[in-house]
Structures are given as structure tokens and as C-alpha cells.
Amino acid sequence: WWDHVAPAAKDPINGVTEAFLADPSPFKINLGVGAYRDDKGRPVVLQCVREAEAKIAGSEFLESISASVSTKMVEESVKLVYGKDSDVVKEGRSAGVQALSGTGACRLFAEFQRRFHPESHIYFPDPTWSNHHNIWRDAQIPERTYHYYDPDSKSLDFAALMDDIKNAPDSSFFLFHPSAHNPTGVDPTEEQWREISYQFKVKGHFPFFDMAYQGFASGDLDKDAQAIRIFLEDEHLIGCAQSYAKSMGLYGHRVGCLSILCVDSKQAAAIRSQIQQIARAMYGSPPVHGILLVETILSDPNLKSLWIDEVKIMADRIQRKRTTLRQNLEKLGSSLNWEHITNQLGMFCFSGLTPYQVDRLAKEFHIYMTQDGRISMAGVTTGNVNYLANAIHEVTRS
């Protein structure tokens, strides 16, 4: 039955974790997966999560809930992206469902897109998170790319991006990272988002936002939702995937939300029911525990404000490590320009290291990152930043 099955290609991100775990060196550093770590390199359980756990202890339903039960979590998630006073919530015109983290939300959307726009494509930024390719491929939606990152300036190629938006067929689907772009750490400015949104109106394109790192770009949850709010002001119908994997440190719980803005509450009810039907056939309903944690944090003002503070602490720690890494490379006398380390935002630094240099870092220094040179800054700590800077300097000196 299965003789024709060959092993699948290694996942570019999970494969890094596997290689790291297999390395016995005490000096090893994992800069692969984009999950938050504290300054000792340990995964973090946020205080707001601990307090929410204490609050829900014993009150949890252990029976699985149907896809529609956690309306509170969905409502609070929708407020988080569209704004707490947004009319979208009051008018009930967002079709939201809880999803298995950002990946699950994207997967539900891709399936929904295929069912109701079977001839459509999806435009991804070049580059984008590696799993986007898998998700839309499995939903049988062909992908196209739009210009995004300019490797020479290590910043946004805005002119080329705008040309691609203009040249795409009318009513195309585009995926955006609203803040803390993965893998490049390069985001459009407010003014540039306004121009993109305007051009989307002209072309009638559909914007789908994958919000996986809300709070990590600026330390401020509202500021990081600015791109989406601009599109909202311009009255676009928007799709949005949200993840609590990084912002609440709940990677293992797979908690997220998919929302699609609709013209009215009647359309929202129809779309919600279709997405729920897709989820029902794929995995039934999501596990309850993580959803209750998120719901508890978002609907309790004290826990929510504790969470807002903790997001800022995480974002600030990463920002400080960017500064130290850059300073250390400069102190070592590197002849290369490392300004992009501090110019880029969020969890990732798109270092510019070549696949050969990335391999040398793994083999000679036990430092692991994805082949495209993406550094998960969350893995950089006070204890390893000197060692990392020395190693990068060694593999990049001519």
C-alpha cells in the first residue's frame, strides 16, 4: 500500500529545532523557531497566564465544546485587531471563529477561499513565512508573489510592491503581515500602508492579514494593528488570522482566531457557519483549555493590563538584544554594515547571512538558524550575545 511513499522534505523551521536538539554541544544556541524565550533562553509562562490558570481551575468544561461556543474569545480577539470601539463589533459584521493558532486560521481561510473563489490565487510577499506556501498549496490555491524585500538595502522595496499591486488582476487575494514581518522584520510605514490601502480600493483586491506577532514590533498592541485599522477606515472587507502562540506564550496550546469582515450581520452569520462547517470536518472543535486562558485574560481588565505590560517587556528585551548584537559586531571591527539589525522590527532579524555562512555557524559554532539567514532574536540572550557576535564576525570576515 505505501511502497511509493518517499519521506517528505524537512520543514525549514522545525528541521532547525531537530538539528539543534541533536547537537550535544553545551554552547549550542537555537535561533530558529520564532517563539519567545527569556534572557536565560527559557520558554516563558507569562504571569497573566498563570493567574488565568488559577482563575479557571476547576471551572473548565472537559467535554469538548462546539465550534461556536467561545464567542467571548472571538469577540475580544476581534476588538484587539479592529479596535475596542470599532463599529465592526457593535454591528456584528465580523465572521469570527476560534482557530488552531495562526496556522489553523490561515488554513481555514485558504479552504474557505478555495470553496467560494475556486479560480483565485493568493499573492504572498517575497519572502514570506515558509508555512504559508504549504497551507495554500494544501488548499489547492495557486500562489503568486509580490515584491517586498530588497536584499541590497535590506529594507522594503515599496515601488516594486506598489507596481505588483497595480499589475495584479483586479480582485486578487493578497496576504500581508500587518506588523513584524516574518522573516524580514521589515514593515511598511503608516504612510505606505495608506497608499497600499488606497490602491487596494482602486483595484478591488482582498487583503488577508496574518497577525502572528501583535505587540512585538512596537511593544504596543494597538500600534501594531495600525495597518489593519487603516484598511478598516477605508472600508475594506478584511480577513485576519490571529495567533496567541507568541504574544501570550501559548505556542503549545494552539489558540488563534480567524475573522472575516462582512457587509452586515446576515452575511457574517452565513460566512461563520461555512467556516464552522470546514472546521467541523477537519478537526471537529479546538481544545478548550487554551481558549479559556485567552478568554479569561482578554475579558478581565486586570489580567489584560498585566498582559499588555508583559508584551511590552518581551518586545523591549528583544529590542535591547538587537542593540547589543549590533554594537558587539561593530566593536569587533566588522567591515560590514549591521544597521539593519536595529532597523528591523519584531522577533526576527533577516541577517543577510548566506546559506554557506549559516551552515558554518551550525557546524563550527553550534548556532542554528533557518537557511535564509533569519535570526530569531528571542533566542539571543545576555549570556550568548558575545559568543554569537564573534561567530557571525568569524563567518562573515573576508
Cβ 100 to ligand LMR shortest distance, Å? 11
Residue 294 exposed, middle or buried by CB count within 10 Å (0-12, 13-18, 19+): buried
> Binding residue for ligand LMR (CB under 6 A) from 33, 46, 367, 378?
33
Task: Assess 379 for contact with ligand LMR (CB under 6 A).
Answer: no
Asked about 224 being catalytic, the answer comes back as: no
Q: Going residue by residue from 359 to 378, which x/- string records binding to ligand LMR, judged by CB under 6 A?
A: --------------------
Query: Whats the size of the chain, residue-wise?
Result: 398
Q: Which of 88, 74, 71 minimizes the C-alpha distance to 237?
A: 88
Closest-approach residue to ligand LMR (CB): 34
Question: What does the block give as the cell for 361?
Answer: 555557524
Cβ-based nearer residue to ligand LMR, 182 or 274? 182
Cβ 12 to ligand LMR shortest distance, Å? 9
Asked about 210 being catalytic, the answer comes back as: yes
Site for ligand LMR in 129-148 (CB under 6 A): 129, 131
Q: Going residue by residue from 163 to 202, which x/- string records binding to ligand LMR, judged by CB under 6 A?
A: -------------------x--------------------
- The DSSP H or E segment spanning 241 is strand 239-243
Cβ-based nearer residue to ligand LMR, 33 or 377? 33
Cβ 13 to ligand LMR shortest distance, Å? 4
Cβ 185 to ligand LMR shortest distance, Å? 12
Asked about 164 being catalytic, the answer comes back as: no
Distance CA 157, CA 159 (A): 6
* Catalytic choice (136, 187, 193, 246): 246
Site for ligand LMR in 202-241 (CB under 6 A): 212
Task: Assess 30 for contact with ligand LMR (CB under 6 A).
Answer: no
Count of C-beta atoms within a 10 Å radius of residue 309: 13
Residues forming beta bridges with residue 207, ordered by sequence position: 174
| DSSP classification of residue 112 | H
Residue 356 exposed, middle or buried by CB count within 10 Å (0-12, 13-18, 19+): exposed
* Catalytic choice (157, 164, 187, 210): 210
Task: Assess 255 for contact with ligand LMR (CB under 6 A).
Answer: no
Cβ-based nearer residue to ligand LMR, 215 or 271? 215
Task: Assess 242 for contact with ligand LMR (CB under 6 A).
Answer: no
Tell me the DSSP string of 250-263.
Answer: -GGG--EEEEEE-S
Cβ 216 to ligand LMR shortest distance, Å? 11
Question: What does the block give as the cell for 18?
Answer: 531537530
Angle at 117 between CA 139 and CA 158, to 5 degrees: 85
Give the count of residues interacting with ligand LMR (CB under 6 A): 7
Contact present, 329 and 393 (Cβ < 8 Å)? yes
Cβ 16 to ligand LMR shortest distance, Å? 9
Residues 6+ apart with CB under 8 A from 145: 123, 124, 125, 126, 128
> Binding residue for ligand LMR (CB under 6 A) from 13, 292, 361, 388?
13
E strands of 306-373, at which residues?
348-350, 367-368
Cβ-based nearer residue to ligand LMR, 193 or 251? 251
Angle at 386 between CA 383 and CA 391, to 5 degrees: 125
3-class SS of residue 132: helix
Enumerate binding residues for ligand LMR (CB under 6 A). Answer: 13, 33-34, 129, 131, 182, 212
Catalytic residues: 129, 210, 246
